[in-house]
Structure 1
Amino acid sequence: MDDLMHDLASSVTQNESSAIISSSQQVSKNVRHLSFLYPELLPEDLPIPFQNLDHVRTISFSNERREGISSEVFIDACFLRFQCLRVADLAYSKFELLPRSIGNLKHLKYLSLWNNFFLKRLPNSICKLQSLQALILGGCDELEELPRDIKHMVNLRLLWITTKQKYLPTGGLGCLKSLRFLFISGCENLQYLFGDLHGLTNLRRLFIGGCDSLISLPQSIKFLTTLKILNIANCENLDLAIEEVEDNQHLSPFSLQKLEIINIPKLLGFPTWLIRGSIKSLKVLKITDCDNLRELPEPLQNIATLEELLIYGCPMLNNERLQNISGPIQACP
């Protein structure tokens, strides 16, 4: 995942780029992409050679040693000077507060705070970034909460969050109608997701993992009609059972192409709502390390589109229903 974040941020740095190894290094005025290879050696303020750069589009501080920038002053100076930034890769940074000046970067499209282990708060000014399409907050274990006006980040397409919050309120993330990819990981205190999950009308992939306090999923998850990939993993207290809606006229079941469930101890019987709307679309189904799973749903036998079925590490599973499934079963309990 670290390589993925780095590759995505550096994909635009093939031309007019400069790798900075010293704060006294001379840089061409036409440079557009700056990569600071030794962020731990940077001074508090922006060095003079960089103060006259007018065309910077990318700044990156991540390196192979996974050492990021620690100076809030330096980051603030970058935000104030490089007003045309499109990409800011601040992975593995060590500051506690992101400067409020982030809100001035009206052209910013990609912001990574991946594995900022000390980050506690984000300024609400970040919600002014109307051009932002990708916001990476995964691995921010100390992040106390998401910005209160995150609903205004209407152009976000990818959001990855880790937070210490116990619940995600309605009227926030559910307003992000442009969102395609949502990753919720490592939220150890999170008990409930936002109730207006159905507001994500363009969501293609939802990943929920490492949320041991998560109790249940909202009813509205069944109304994500554009959802194609659902991954749920390592949630110790998650009960996937959702009360079925009797009035089918108001039920718009999603049609998944890939469903992956890993290490969900409270999964006893496989909830039919997960695949009922996917009988004509599901191609990949993976169920692994669910120690207490005893039954698979009957609709599974009717999925003609299934190309890959992996069931592994489910010792309590009844094999009778597996024998009635025609298709590529890769592994059994």
Structure 2
Amino acid sequence: MLFLENVLQAPLQLRQLLISHCLKFQGFPKSIGQLNHLKKIVITEGYSVRSLPDEFCLLQSLEQLVLFECKLLSSLPSNFGDLSNLRHLNLSCCEELRRLPDTFKNLKLLEHLDLANCHKLTFKSEDLNFLENITKLDYLNLSFIRQLQELPRHVTNQASLRELYFDYTSLRDLPDSIGQLSRITKMRIVCVQLSSLPTSLGDLSSLTKLEIAYSPKLKSLPKSIRQLNNLQELSITNIPISELDFGTASLSNLKKISLEGTVVCKLSFSEACYPHLESLHVSYNRHLEEIEALSRTLKSIYLGNCEMLKNIPSFAGFTSLRNFCLTDCCGIEKIEGLENCTILSELSVETCWELPGIKSLEHLQNLKRLALKANKRSVIERCIQTIQKWPNERIIIWAQAVPDAASLVHSFLSQKLMIVDSSSNQGTNSSQKLVLKGIPDGDAIMFCCVINCVSSQMTLEIVLDGRILFFKKVGKGRWALVGVLSQRNSDGELRIQTLFGEGEVEKGLVVRGEEQTTREALRSLLPLFSL
């Protein structure tokens, strides 16, 4: 504290003060009030900060104040409202903060207020009366304030509000007055006790992003949602709705839809209803049996963990599709029209046991990533035989849990590099290894992340200039260069010269999934090893 006292006596022209991860920092000295030009103060993870001196509120030029994770801060100075120029205030994760001072209402220029994770705030409706005097609020986050049971009119009267979040509060319903938020663009609704949504939700004419999640009592959505003509992103997660039908001329500007954990049986995303739809994510909809229509404007489609899904539309005319993932949809028996997706760059077909094959793969010569995890071996073989005919193409193939998948591709390494996770020993903790040799000169080396590896000791060897670079898996989709193999002993065991000490493997060169590293880059690492 003495050191900080001396520092604050000198730079009277200081404009910004940033304090991060200073675990022993307990607070500001009284001299902080002398920094009349200070406009920004940021404290992150100030675990020892318990209070602010009254002199702190003399900072008349202060515009931005962040007190993030000051977990012992239990109160603010009673004259906190003297910070009359404050525009941005972040008090998130101040877990001991119990109340806001009465002078809070004097912060009339406040535009951004984040109170998320202030668990002990005694927030009743009247405690938000200070908002009556604040008319320029643009952002309000009240998430994880457990005692917030209703959304008062002072919130819904905020005409300038553009973002509103109240995740995991005790709200049981939303007031009809929420429709008065005519400028709001982003809203997230995550309320366990919420059983219905007001019809006035459809009056939010400026709304571009709507997230509704983890509200198990919510059985349906209001039909008025179809009036949200400017909505571009809609996300529904773990809501037990059984129907999703907004009419034939609704939500025409939607670009992204995410549906997870619903109980719908049938879905339709026709181009007539969704003429601008670009991204569709449908997962863990256990009762979904059919998708009747898909918009040909789609660029990315993810269908996962829908065990009852049997039919998906043909991809005829899907000339914009770049990414298609079909995973754990065991009932799918056919995929038609893929030959039309000529710019498709990523294709993932995983754990689809009823699928006999992927037709027309020869037309997908822009493919850069093909995932075939846990499919029939015959499907893998036919795909690789097709890809083998492509001239001068480089592609990653993932084929987890397929017996002898590594040997299946080794014969093709002279033409293109494919790194395959061949972890066929499911349920064991044995160390597994895939050795890739015969890499052609000048070819790019591509690393793929390993999905759902059982063994945490997965290793990877790459032969380069007669030496073997030794990589170790250090996390999901993360590999670290830990050494170079100089020789093998008579028993064929590896002798590795490690670059980093035990326990420091993550300080090595970490290669993340789908990142490309050229031969030249790897070769430049070799001088680091004194072989």
| Shorter-chain TM-score tier | 0.7 to 0.9
Seen in structure 2, the aligned counterparts of structure 1 residues 275 and 77 have a Cα distance that, compared at 3 Å, is farther
Seen in structure 2, the aligned counterparts of structure 1 residues 320 and 218 have a Cα distance that, compared at 3 Å, is closer
CA distance in 1, matches of 2:142, 2:131: 13
Corresponding residue for 1:220? 224
**Residue 168 of structure 1, CA deviation:** 0.8
CA distance in 2, matches of 1:44, 1:132: 26
Give the counterpart letter for 1:34 in structure 2. I
Q: Say if 2:182 is the partner of 1:177.
A: yes
**Among residues 185, 198, 205, which one is paired with 2:202 in the alignment?**
198
| Identical-pair percentage | 23
**Residue 240 of structure 1, CA deviation:** 3.5
What secondary structure, in the 3-state scheme, does the structure 2 residue paired with 1:321 have?
A: coil
What secondary structure, in the 3-state scheme, does the structure 2 residue paired with 1:159 have?
A: strand
Give the counterpart letter for 1:147 in structure 2. P
Corresponding residue for 1:262? 260
Give the counterpart letter for 1:213 in structure 2. K
After TM superposition, the structure 1 = structure 2 runs for residues 1-333 of structure 1, keeping only pairs within 5 Å, are 16-19=15-18, 21=25, 22-24=27-29, 26-27=31-32, 28-37=35-44, 41-42=48-49, 44=51, 46-48=53-55, 50-62=56-68, 66-68=69-71, 70-74=73-77, 76-78=78-80, 80-94=81-95, 95-121=97-123, 122-162=127-167, 163-171=169-177, 173-185=178-190, 187-235=191-239, 237-242=240-245, 253-264=251-262, 266-270=263-267, 272=268, 278-298=273-293, 300=294, 303-321=295-313, 326=318, 327=321, 328-332=323-327, 333=329
What secondary structure, in the 3-state scheme, does the structure 2 residue paired with 1:61 have?
A: strand
Seen in structure 2, the aligned counterparts of structure 1 residues 149 and 305 have a Cα distance that, compared at 3 Å, is same
Structure possessing the higher radius of gyration over alpha carbons? 2
CA distance in 2, matches of 1:98, 1:126: 12
CA distance in 2, matches of 1:37, 1:47: 21
CA distance in 1, matches of 2:15, 2:147: 36
CA distance in 1, matches of 2:15, 2:72: 23
**Residue 37 of structure 1, CA deviation:** 4.9
Are 1:99 and 1:123, in contact at CA under 8 Å, matched by a contact in 2? no
**Residue 106 of structure 1, CA deviation:** 1.2
CA distance in 2, matches of 1:115, 1:139: 5
**Residue 312 of structure 1, CA deviation:** 0.5
Per-residue displacement from partner, 1:184-227 (whole Å, max 9, x unpaired)? 12x11011112111211111100111222212111110110000
Are 1:175 and 1:200, in contact at CA under 8 Å, matched by a contact in 2? yes
What secondary structure, in the 3-state scheme, does the structure 2 residue paired with 1:123 have?
A: helix
What secondary structure, in the 3-state scheme, does the structure 1 residue paired with 2:153 have?
A: coil
What secondary structure, in the 3-state scheme, does the structure 2 residue paired with 1:131 have?
A: coil
Corresponding residue for 1:12? none
Seen in structure 2, the aligned counterparts of structure 1 residues 196 and 254 have a Cα distance that, compared at 3 Å, is farther
What secondary structure, in the 3-state scheme, does the structure 2 residue paired with 1:196 have?
A: helix
What secondary structure, in the 3-state scheme, does the structure 1 residue paired with 2:218 have?
A: coil
What secondary structure, in the 3-state scheme, does the structure 1 residue paired with 2:58 have?
A: coil
Structure 1: gaps spanning 5 or more residues: 1-14
What secondary structure, in the 3-state scheme, does the structure 1 residue paired with 2:105 have?
A: helix
Per-residue displacement from partner, 1:212-254 (whole Å, max 9, x unpaired)? 221211111011000000011122x333445x76xx8xx6544
Give the counterpart letter for 1:218 in structure 2. P
Q: What TM-score, normalized to structure 2?
A: 0.52
Are 1:258 and 1:282, in contact at CA under 8 Å, matched by a contact in 2? yes
What secondary structure, in the 3-state scheme, does the structure 1 residue paired with 2:79 have?
A: helix
**Residue 282 of structure 1, CA deviation:** 0.3
What secondary structure, in the 3-state scheme, does the structure 1 residue paired with 2:170 have?
A: coil
Give the counterpart letter for 1:17 in structure 2. Q
CA distance in 2, matches of 1:262, 1:19: 40
**Which structure has more RCO (C-alpha within 8 Å, separation ≥ 6)?**
1
Are 1:230 and 1:259, in contact at CA under 8 Å, matched by a contact in 2? yes
What secondary structure, in the 3-state scheme, does the structure 2 residue paired with 1:174 have?
A: helix
Seen in structure 2, the aligned counterparts of structure 1 residues 277 and 131 have a Cα distance that, compared at 3 Å, is farther
CA distance in 1, matches of 2:40, 2:200: 39
CA distance in 2, matches of 1:323, 1:304: 8
Are 1:85 and 1:105, in contact at CA under 8 Å, matched by a contact in 2? yes
Q: What TM-score, normalized to structure 1?
A: 0.80
Are 1:181 and 1:205, in contact at CA under 8 Å, matched by a contact in 2? yes
Are 1:169 and 1:195, in contact at CA under 8 Å, matched by a contact in 2? no
CA distance in 1, matches of 2:149, 2:260: 27
Aligned length: 299
Are 2:166 and 2:189, in contact at CA under 8 Å, matched by a contact in 1? yes
Give the counterpart letter for 1:184 in structure 2. I
Are 1:206 and 1:229, in contact at CA under 8 Å, matched by a contact in 2? yes
Seen in structure 2, the aligned counterparts of structure 1 residues 99 and 269 have a Cα distance that, compared at 3 Å, is farther
**Residue 72 of structure 1, CA deviation:** 2.9
- The answer to which structure has the higher strand fraction is 2
Are 2:194 and 2:217, in contact at CA under 8 Å, matched by a contact in 1? yes
Per-residue displacement from partner, 1:111-151 (whole Å, max 9, x unpaired)? 11122222341422224321110111223233222223322
Structure 2: gaps spanning 5 or more residues: 1-13, 20-24, 330-531
Are 2:108 and 2:134, in contact at CA under 8 Å, matched by a contact in 1? yes
**Residue 281 of structure 1, CA deviation:** 0.4
